[in-house]
Amino acid sequence: MLIILDLSVGLSLVLACALGLIELAGPLLAERKAGGTPWHAHHIVERHGLFAIIAGEGVVGTVATLSAVVEEQGWTMDAALVCIAGTGLTFGM
């Protein structure tokens, strides 16, 4: 929006809040129509299984990166930050 229009900070915040409310109203409006989303237990199980795979890959990637940094430089502040950032990013998902 700011790439095309030259808006003030206040107007930009007002428009961002309005667009955010529209974004959040979408699911509310969609759930009211036709009785809501149907329950599908297999889909929930599949999503949780895929999440476990993705989280596992994040941990494996963090360990692989950490081992490469430690092998090259030893245990430094950079290695600790790689460990904290990788783990935090994985669990922050």
The secondary structure of 62-74 as a DSSP string is HHHHHHHHHHHH-
Cα–Cα distance measured from residue 57 to residue 34, given in angstroms and rounded to the nearest whole number:
39
Q: In the chain, which stretches have pLDDT less than 70?
A: 1-2
CB 70 within 8 A of CB 79: yes
* Cα separation, 66 vs 74, whole angstroms: 10
Cβ neighbourhood burial of 83 (10 Å; 0-12, 13-18, 19+): middle
pLDDT at residue 57 in the model: 92
pLDDT at residue 2, rounded to an integer: 66
